[in-house]
Amino acid sequence: MNFKSLIQIFLLLLILIICGALYYNYLHKKPSLLNKKKIVIIEEPKKEILGNFIKDIEYKSEDELGNSYIIRSKKGEFKDKNPNLIFMTNVEAVIKLKDKTIIRLTSLNANYNILDNNTNFFNNVNLDYLTHKITADNIDVFFRDSKVEAYNNLVYRNLDLSLIADKVEIDLITKNSKIFMLNNEKIKIIKSN
């Protein structure tokens, strides 16, 4: 083989590599991250199983957008009706958003779905998010939908403001909140001095 043939083979391989890279980067269809959110379990729970009861539960998960969800509980119980649902006691949860914002939740009890990470917190529920604090009887986290809903005896507090309403919905992606009353009453706003 002569030098001219080696150069031709090299150029042909280079052209094939460039064409393959261009096809993969620009023409190959990638699934939309906005339409499809896949929940990935990062770590299996650390637990001690005693019949239907579990002690020291910890679940970690992450979606394709880079948001993560960690939930811990001192004790959990599987109910016979739905084996994917865990009734938790003394619950702490942390949602770490892609932009490094952290949301902390605590409650006496929660129902946690191990399949989709949706969690219904109840009994003395507290949510801390930047300078915002929410207390309510119920707070639901829909991790796959990137949404939080707080309702029943809801009190929202900020640096200089307290707000009493029936329900608040927070979109974790856009950070938009909707605050409303269910029976056409007015939202009560109390300004702190």
Give the start-to-end residue ranges of the domains of the chain: 42-191
- CA dist., res. 51 & res. 5, Å (int): 73
* Fold assignment, 42-191: lipopolysaccharide transport protein A fold (2.60.450)
Question: Is the per-residue pLDDT at 188 higher than 80?
Answer: no
When pLDDT is cut at 50, 70 and 90, the band that residue 65 belongs to is confident
Specify the pTM: 0.69
Contact 146, 170 (CB under 8 A): no
Q: What local confidence, expressed as pLDDT, does residue 40 receive?
A: 47
Confidence band for 136, pLDDT divided at 50, 70 and 90: very high
Integer Cα distance of 161 and 105 in angstroms: 20
Average pLDDT over residues 143-164: 85
